[in-house]
Amino acid sequence: MKTRLHHFHPPYQKHRRRVRYLLALVLTGAGVGCFFLADVIRDLLPYILGFMLLFLAAMELYEALMDGSFDHEDTDKIANSVVYVIMAAVALIKRDEADNMVGAIWGVLGLLLASRHISHAVHGLIHREGSRFGHCLHVIQSLLSIGISTALLLDPPAHLHFHIYILGLELLDTAIRIALEEK
């Protein structure tokens, strides 16, 4: 049995590509802003995080509805949307006291992402898929991310400013990946 939108229609593909390029442009601007406006971003972090999480939730929900993935048991798009909305609400409600919460969420998400990258790299090394050198670089990058995330969990207010610079690099990386994505 095929899903509702098994293959995307050409007009939808064109629209999706435009949305991805727009998102890549916005993320590039945000990434560059992290370097030049770090102090301002630090003060506005709860608002930025809250609205960005709401935007991510809307994008995940939109894609789940458009590609029919909500109809599959193993999809995470709608679940991620719910989590993003709740985290956004908490960040916006606790604006003035959000440093610890923002740092903790950021640290945990960083640990989850880094551990997932290590898992994929180890799988690739064991099964000899892809470049061994590339997998080793992924492991090293993940170990650095684990160190940065752990520091953020231990003392969020002290490490948030440095993490804004790291966020800038990550946003630029994400923008490039989104712009180059084939889908």
Domain borders along the chain are: 11-180
What pLDDT was estimated at residue 32? Answer: 93
On whether the CB atoms of residues 163 and 152 are closer than 8 A, the answer is yes
Say if residue 112's pLDDT is above 90: no
What pLDDT was estimated at residue 12? Answer: 66
Confidence (pTM): 0.61
Which residue type occupies 22? L
Chain segment 33-85, per-residue pLDDT in tens = 989 998 888 888 788 878 888 888 888 888 888 877 666 666 677 887 888 88
pLDDT greater at residue 26 or residue 132: 26
Structure tokens at 145: 């991310």
